[in-house]
Structure formats: C-alpha cells, structure tokens
Amino acid sequence: MATFELSDAAPDQEHGASRPMWLRSTYCEHANCVEVSLGEDVLIRDSTFPDQPSLVVAPDAYRAFITAVKNGLFVR
C-alpha cells in the first residue's frame, strides 16, 4: 500500500504567502509524480512542472475521487 511523504520540490508560488506542504506517494521514485497539498482547498500539481499553476479542488471532491479510485471505479 502506498503512503505519502513530503516532497522536496519547490513550493507553489501562486497561492500567496502560505507555502503548501506538498505530498507524493511513496510509489513515486522519480520526478514524474502527482503531488497534493491538503488544506482549505486541495492543490494538485505535476512534479515535473512545479512552477506551473496547480489544479485547485474542494476537499469533498478530492475525497470522492480518492474513494472512487480505491473502489476500482477507474480500473480497465
């Protein structure tokens, strides 16, 4: 089972003075990973392009997505 660890990637500059704490899966061994920052909103970014804008979603939407993934909704 994957766990999450703090990323050493550069912090997101688009969201003001508070610096998001970025997390990535322990399955991620290279720079090509999805990173998330959990807070009032959930920020999602591609670790390959950390300076690009992040996708911002509501926590409820993110939880619904994670639940769907865990339940196999997206398995081919």
Residue 8 banded pLDDT, cuts 50, 70, 90: very low
Cβ proximity of 64 and 46 under 8 Å: no
pLDDT at 63: 94
pLDDT at 62: 95
pLDDT in tens, 13-71: 554 546 789 998 888 877 788 999 999 999 999 988 989 999 999 999 999 999 999 99
Residue 6 pLDDT exceeds 60: no
Burial of residue 34 (number of CB atoms within 10 Å: 0-12, 13-18, 19+) = middle
DSSP alpha helix (H) spans, the chain: 59-70
Residue 7 pLDDT exceeds 90: no
Pair of tokens at residue 3: 């766990």
